Amino acid sequence: MGTGWLSCLSALCVVGVLAAPPIVTDHALGGSGEETLNDVALQSDGGLVLGGSLFGTSTHGNRTAPGFGDRDFWLLRLDAAQQSLWDRAYGGQGPDELRRVLPLRDGGFLLIGSSASEPSGTRTAAREGGFDAWIVRIAADGTSLWDRAYGGLDGDRLNHGVELADGGFLLVGTSSSEPGPGKTAALDGPSDAWVLRVDAQGNRLWDRSYGGSGSEEFNTVVSDPGGSFVVAGWSDSRSGTGNKTSTAHGQRDAWVLRLGDDGRILWDRSLGGQNEDWATDVVLAPDGGLLVVGNSLSREGGTKTSPNYSPAVGVSLASDGWLNRLDPSGTLLWDRSLGGSDADVLQRALAVPGGYLFAGFSSSPPGGTKTSAKHVTEAFGSDGWLARTDLDGRPIWDQTYGASLTHEAMALARLPDGSLFAAGRGFGGTNGTRTVPGFGGSDGYAVRLAEDEGRLAVPPQTPGEIEQLGLRLSFTGLTNLWYRLERSPDLIRWGTLTTIRGGGTPTSVTDLEAASIPRRFYRARLISPP
């Protein structure tokens, strides 16, 4: 929980605090096998498309799509009330792993990942080697239109992509293959970060390798309004090998590059300390700069100035979520750690008015910057974890969800009504915050959190008015949602001021006791209807 605003009236200082929004609904999606969700995309009708993986051919629970053998791509379409409309599987008899679902301008989707299947099931593309980079073009109703495989004789994978103005795609991932029929770029180390440019039919136009004598991977790409691309992931290569120019700082660094439209490197930056650090997502900032989202096992050193919240002695370092703010030229402006004493991981991010939202998972009890409860009791398990910061990376709230067994948030969307939808996977039954039972093994699991935009303000008033009439507050909440307005002398002890139903317009609330107290804290908390 963090500070939302500060207002001082004479000697009285009033601090408004935003509280974490509660979980409104939760959803188990799957059958008796193994299912997981890795991506979520908002649709124009307010519905959602979820992408992930399923294992096996059986249909149980609320899964209707039979698989084709091993692990397959899995796509689900939900309506605006998060009810299932259909689900489909894509793949062959071998393992196929979906990483991202890219919504397209024509209403369809591009499924991005990897495949080790021979042509079978829905896969028609010839196999190139071990794991191939694999994409599938899907119509709006889930029909497979075409699929393409890329790579060499060893392992190749795609993790993300963007649709281009000409209808083609820029795709990013990693490759450990030498050049071959499905790849032209040279291999500089055990594996390189890899970028492919394909046309609207998936035909490869060019591919490029990025990295040095070590290993690299790109996890994400965003299009810059100026026509360039920003890619991010990790690198453990030294500078001056291959085409890497930025100085290495530790065992593995987060690695961020700006590329021209032909794939040439405009600049690259390594971010990290002495241990392992990596980037998982990038968000364009309001000034044209970047927020690089990732995780860190390092203490301060190298480019890292923020702490690691693991205990100082006695145990190995655990990861924290880690934010790096860059200006448009790649200069580091600040970095922030988010987390507690155990492992905390950020997977995805969204820009929202006044800040950013994050999805990931956490094994930490409250401590460090983490304020939300720990639910998991399984050894080395985790809770799903959502967090919000302001534009400078300062925490506003965080929220965990889950049960005694592991849960993870892998993707995040903001729905048209302002509520938040997080998707990933989960094990186990109805305890902790979880209300829906599982179907067996890991299921796709999702939660919807209420909108968090209730606002407190302090209208102008004199000390004399406060002494005679009390302190007036103005509160604006969303229509038909209920809030509890609370007050505290120290941010530790909280009492109820009033319970109020939001109406979409400002409502005046008075604290009659504030006249005799020099400092008072207030917060608005979403609650269930009384």
How far, in Å, are 94, 121, 198, 427 from residue 32 at the CA level?
20, 21, 38, 12
- How many Cβ atoms are within 10 Å of 10's Cβ, its own excluded? 12
Q: Which among 256, 279, 134 has a CA at the least distance from the CA of 196?
A: 134
Rg (CA), the chain: 24
Residue 206 is assigned to a structural domain of this protein: no
Mean per-residue pLDDT, 318-328: 97
- 10 confidence band (pLDDT: 50, 70, 90): very low
CB 353 within 8 A of CB 396: no
Would residue 101 be called left, alpha or beta, if left means φ above 0 and alpha means ψ between -120 and 50 degrees?
beta
Residue 339 is assigned to a structural domain of this protein: no
Q: Tell me which of 493 and 231 has the higher pLDDT.
A: 231
Pairing of strands 12-18, 519-527: parallel
Helices (H) and strands (E) in the chain, counts: 1, 36
Tally of domains within the chain: 1
With H, G, I as helix, E, B as strand and everything else as coil, classify residue 516: helix
> What DSSP letter does each residue of 430-477 carry, written as one string?
S-TT--S---SSSEEEEEEE-----EEE-----HHHHHHH-EEEEEE-
Which tens digits make up the pLDDT trace of 13-45?
A: 444 445 688 899 999 999 888 899 999 999 999
- How many Cβ atoms are within 10 Å of 360's Cβ, its own excluded? 30
Residue 405 is assigned to a structural domain of this protein: no
| pLDDT of res. 106 | 94
Tokens linked to 33: 């096998």
| pLDDT of res. 75 | 97
CB 480 within 8 A of CB 491: no
Residue 10 is assigned to a structural domain of this protein: yes
Query: What's the pTM?
Result: 0.86
Residue 518 is assigned to a structural domain of this protein: yes
- 5 confidence band (pLDDT: 50, 70, 90): very low
With H, G, I as helix, E, B as strand and everything else as coil, classify residue 307: coil
Return d(Cα 150, Cα 199) in angstroms, integer.
13
Which tens digits make up the pLDDT trace of 464-491?
A: 888 888 899 988 876 777 788 888 887 7
Tokens linked to 297: 């096992």
Residue 495 is assigned to a structural domain of this protein: yes
Residue 207 is assigned to a structural domain of this protein: no
Range of the domain at 516: 2-19+460-527
> What DSSP letter does each residue of 265-280 carry, written as one string?
EEEEEEE--SSBEEEE
Residue 502 is assigned to a structural domain of this protein: yes
